[in-house]
Amino acid sequence: MKKYTYIFLVFSGILATACQNLDRDFVTTIGKNEIEQSFTNVQALLTAIYSNLPDGTLYISGSAMMASATDEAEFAQETNPIQNFNTGSWNAANNPDLVWGTYYRGIRQVNQFLLSTGKINLDPWKLDPSASAQKVYTDNLATIKRWTYEARFLRAYYYFELVKRYGGVPLLNQSLSLDDDFSKVQRNSLNECIQFIAAECDSAAVQLPLNASTPPYVAATDLGRVTKLTALALKSRVLLYAASDLFNTSTWAGGYSKPELISLPAGDRIARWKAASDAAKAVIDAGALPTLGAYKSLFNTFNNGEIIFTRSNAASNQFERNNSPIGFNLGQSGNTPSQDLVDAYEVRVNATTAVPFNWNDPAMAANPYANRDPRLALTVVVNNSSFGTPARTVQTWTGGLDARPIINATKTGYYLRKYQIESLNLLNGNTGVHSWILFRYPEIYLNYAEALNEWSPGNADIKAYYDRVRSRTGIAMPGLPSGLSQADVREKIRNEKRVEFAFEDHRFWDVRRWMQAPAYFNAPLRGVNVTQTSTNTFTYQPVKVEDRVFTSKMYLYPIPQTDLNIAGNLTQNPLW
């Protein structure tokens, strides 16, 4: 029997070196038409589209997280490409996060999939008059319709992943072939892209079940599927970015000739912030709100009411090997939290008061981890704390088992606890589930609070939803104080997002959309120097780990040079 390959053209840089270099997604011994006529095979094509969703735990070279390209962390192995972000040594030909081709492949897959769904042969059931066959026919029609909206959402999601990196990008929403002339492809405006993504979210939200437990979904078998809540959550994020400073300011671009590619038309910012708050409120109002339970275990499960959308992965221990302290069996240090992040966790004074950590306070400096926001201990491994299986005390003091001068030991004085399944014995090959969460309710709450504060400062919902995040089981941090100015509330919300979503790939983008990158990403990254003065007695001193580089052009990624070579009408982003 002749063997065929069901292929999808990738609009990406790989075409620069081989104009017919194709990514293969589905290899079979039957032809393309037969695939498209098969209900089961078309379902497999949808699964392939889902596979393009990112896994941020093993993101850059299978080990570095995007946190290590921010003030959240430093990656222990300096040879990892993530370091290029920190040194400023990245460009249109060398980008550690080169996902242009990945997401255009996903978009191409969706476009082809939407054609395939119209070719599925349902005649065996349609032409059978029996009640059972007619039920199967009706159910399959409904399923195919649902698949199309899942796929359209995924296309919208992939477009937003491109937009937040590049600004306006080409909207390619029909199936293309090798005969198409890519040299004439142009970028759509940022406004066109935002409107398209939001509209696709609206369409999907109307047609999809509320969540994985809503018929015809069944939580046990449909976890990780796109739902109404997923579509509403993406719209919330998209409109929040659309209202934020970066997409409403083009002056950083130095007289860029096509500002419509990097910023929205001049308009009513208040209206944009209100649209963002309305989109977040739509998620909140869509169904019963979950109880926010234990923080750390959230990242080792797919089945939690707080999770709106997550990527499902097979059980593994690669994350533990990548990030366990250097002195533990098979530990490689990996993504080590910074002092800048640690300092962002507040000190709890009492049930109603929390204050920023301050190194100039002698009591805080002498005992820097006392009375801190509980999320600190659930996110970061600090000196003299217990970790791992078999458990022991982590020694990040100079000369300790997990400290310098050991090669690849943490430079910051900290290790990462979040996401780690500490019960795994790596020498025994134990594995466990890690959840890379793409959307969860606390993001929506803080999106809502942030947007409300910009157009309706003092609105009671700001405190209500800010407090909801901080009152989760096991955290119980004091709520938003009264009497704060709009600017003070803004900073409270931003800091809350920083600590709640540490290592979840929000910081890299939030600091950019707030246009605070020169202050945070062009400043030296700090760690802590720990000195043991006697058994279980230590002194702590913040130190510079390395200088970091950020220039204005880095607000957006450069369009890959290989794609500029193919499509001459693409316009490069400013200052690259």
407 shares its domain with 450:
no
pLDDT string in tens for the chain (576-residue length) = 333 333 333 333 323 322 222 233 444 455 677 778 899 999 999 999 999 999 999 999 999 999 999 999 999 999 999 999 999 999 999 999 999 999 999 999 999 999 999 999 999 999 999 999 999 999 999 999 999 999 999 999 999 999 999 999 999 987 765 556 677 899 999 999 999 999 999 999 999 999 999 999 998 889 999 999 999 999 999 999 999 999 999 999 999 999 999 999 999 999 999 999 999 999 999 999 999 999 999 999 999 999 999 998 899 999 999 999 999 999 999 999 999 999 999 999 999 999 999 999 999 999 999 999 999 999 999 999 999 999 999 999 999 999 999 999 999 999 999 999 999 999 999 999 998 999 999 999 999 999 999 999 999 999 999 999 999 999 999 999 999 999 999 999 999 999 999 999 999 999 999 999 999 999 999 999 999 999 999 999 999 999 999 999 999 999 999 999 999 999 999 999
Whether residue 503 sits in one domain with residue 409: no
> Has this prediction a pTM greater than 0.85?
yes
What is d(CA 404, CA 407) in angstroms, rounded to the nearest whole number?
Answer: 7
**Is 374 inside a domain boundary?**
yes
Asked if 465 and 421 sit in the same domain, the reply is: no
- Verify that 428 and 445 share a domain, yes or no: no
466 and 478 in a single domain? The answer is yes
Does the residue 501 lie in any domain?
Answer: yes
* Strands 347-350, 353-355: pairing kind: antiparallel
Domain annotation covers residue 463: yes
Domain closes at, from 412, 436, 460: 436
In whole angstroms, what is the distance from residue 499 CA to residue 493 CA?
A: 10
- As a whole number of Å, the CA-based R_g of the chain is 25
Query: CATH code at 465?
Result: 1.25.40.900
Same domain, 407 and 337: yes
- Picking from 416, 436, 456, the residue at the C-terminal end of a domain is 436
Say how many domains are in the chain: 2
Helix axes 100-116, 131-166, angle to 10 degrees: 160
Instruction: Identify which of 305, 274, 290, 237 has the alpha carbon closest to the alpha carbon of residue 447.
Output: 237
Q: What is the predicted pLDDT for the residue at 31?
A: 63
CA-CA distances (angstroms) from residue 168 to 136, 162, 188?
43, 8, 5
In the listed set 502, 524, 546, which residue is the last one of a domain according to the structure?
524
Does residue 517 sit within a domain?
Answer: yes
Residue 562 lies in a domain: no
Same-domain check for residues 332 and 410:
yes
Which domain covers residue 323, as residue numbers? Answer: 318-436
Q: Are 152 and 114 in contact (CB under 8 A)?
A: yes
Q: What would the two tokens of residue 250 be? A: 């083009």
In a domain, 382, yes or no: yes
Do 331 and 405 fall within a single domain? yes
Residue 164 phi/psi, 5-degree rounding, is -70, -20
What does the angle CA 274 – CA 278 – CA 283 come to, to the nearest 5 degrees?
A: 155
Same domain, 390 and 379: yes
Q: What is the Cα–Cα distance from 521 to 526, expressed in whole angstroms?
A: 12
Expressed in angstroms, the distance from the first to the final Cα of the chain is 51
Residues 497, 425 within the same domain? no
| Domain shared by 462 and 393, yes or no | no
Q: 285 in a domain, yes or no?
A: no
On whether residue 43 sits in a domain, the answer given is no
* 362 and 415, same domain (yes or no): yes
